[in-house]
Amino acid sequence: MVAVEEGDHRYPSLTRGQNQRWVSTPNRVYLPSSTEEVVAAVDDAVTEGLPLSVRSGGHCYENFVDRPDTGAIVDASQMEGIRWDDRMGAVEVEAGATLGDVYYTLLKRWGTTLPGGSCYTVGAGGHVLGAGYGPLSRQHGLISDHLYAVEVVVADAGRARAVVATRERGDPNGDLLWAHTGAGGGSFGIVTRYWFRSRGGGRRPGTALPTAPREVWVHRSEWSWSDMTAEKFARLMRNYGTWLENHSSPDGRYAGLFSRLELTTRPSGAFHLVVQMDAAARGAEQLLTEFLDAVNEGVGVEPTVTDHRRLPWLHASGWPGMWMSNPTDRYKYKSSYHRRGFTESQIAAFYKQLTETDYTQPPFVVSIASYGARINALESGATAHPHRDSVMLLLWGTAWQDAAEDDRHLSWHREFYRAVYADTGGVPVPNADTDGCFINYCDADLGDEDLNTSGTPWHELYFKDNYARLRRVKKRWDPRDAFHHAQSVRLP
């Protein structure tokens, strides 16, 4: 097995991920290519007392991998196999496989797909166990909803070992599978392999997972800030939220529509809406038109259409309207779930913060994604991911390059977020309107009592009532807390 230490010319490239705010100085970085090598790496690290962390695609938003105390990193990126497993009757995906490779392989070999995220370079390792979502999730649920089995290297006894857990009734390891459907990474062990077969799916390659769309419509339109008033903006925000409230049932005719309303600051000039619609839906283009009309009804500002095309699905999955990825930037992200449209005080805070500012950072955006539909077909305790009655998921993000500007960007970002959720202690607490936060958009600020004054702890925002069960799983599979970070599941 390859193990890189300081002095090796590869070391600087392996001690940081996508977010350049976080750089670690581990004793070594392991690059295993098999489950057996992961077991050996964990054994080495535990024996030497080196605090462990694991990386797959490297997109962790906080320093949960590249912590100051990180002693050893297990980098799973060399484990990137994607194959059919006859014994399991499922598609096997190794933890280091990127989402782009997963989509290409599933479509080209078997004509199927998984409803994962739109950023191609994200690794399956972290994305799946955090209950990743994407443009097909309103139609097919979360990627973890299709998880049949998982292989995890744990350190629950004297030596590390690999454990396979399935969703079969009576599986003695079933709690470990459940925990990997929404708990996020770094709490129980190291995932080496996933097996995917949809609930009700067949045991043959072409029937185990959802059929990939043949074609989709993609659309992008934008509104100029110079034409927007507080009243017009409020109407648009009400329209968008109300439409999602009314069209997020699991079996609705709009399940094949996914959208993101991308809000930027006034100095950026314009904000926009991006949409993907399954072209196979009856009257798909008309449904798309009706959605666009409903969002803009009564706003009084005509949006400019900058893209409107029908594309083969595989090509559309790489459409830049849905994603961007820059591994040279510094980032800060936050998240929030909404059970219904925005309150008047939230809309007013959005408008004030976006318009009354000299903050000109172009990459800043609040991305308001459509949620619900088939995602909400399961009960909140069916998987570790508890957010099963929301209609929107917001990603709040900004990017910059200069470390000297950290305080400026972080302060503005935090002030904006707290202003929108001022009525609930600066965070989206689970209530009638909001429903907490997304663990894959991890945010260390949720554990800061100066920034989260709601009295609702970070683990309730992420996991709600599922946290007690997650702690029991932690006690069983990682009683020594070999795997931990600032927001990992705590031992009871």
Task: Give pLDDT, residue 157.
Answer: 82
Task: Give pLDDT, residue 209.
Answer: 98
Cα-based distances in Å from 260 to 26, 172, 333, 341, 436: 38, 41, 16, 14, 19
- CB-count exposure of residue 402 (10 Å: 0-12, 13-18, 19+): exposed
| pLDDT tens sequence for the chain (492 residues) | 999 999 999 999 999 999 999 999 999 999 999 999 999 999 999 999 999 999 999 999 999 999 999 999 999 999 999 999 999 999 999 999 999 999 999 999 999 999 999 999 999 999 999 999 999 999 999 999 999 999 999 999 878 999 999 999 999 999 999 999 999 999 999 999 999 999 999 999 999 999 999 999 999 999 999 999 999 999 999 999 999 999 999 989 999 999 999 999 999 999 999 999 999 999 999 999 999 999 999 999 999 999 999 999 999 998 888 877 788 999 999 999 999 999 999 999 999 999 998 888 777 899 999 999 999 999 999 999 999 999 999 999 999 999 999 999 999 999 999 999 999 999 999 999 999 999 999 999 999 999 999 999 999 999 999 999 999 999 999 999 999 999 999 999
Task: Give pLDDT, residue 434.
Answer: 98
Task: Give pLDDT, residue 325.
Answer: 75
Q: Is the pTM of this model over 0.85?
A: yes
Task: Give pLDDT, residue 122.
Answer: 96
Residue 13 has, within 13 A of its CA and on its CB side, a CA count of 6
Task: Give pLDDT, residue 357.
Answer: 85
| Rounded Cα gap, residues 191 and 204, in angstroms | 24
Strand (E) positions, 313-421?
Answer: 330-338, 365-370, 392-400
Chain mean position to CA 363? 19
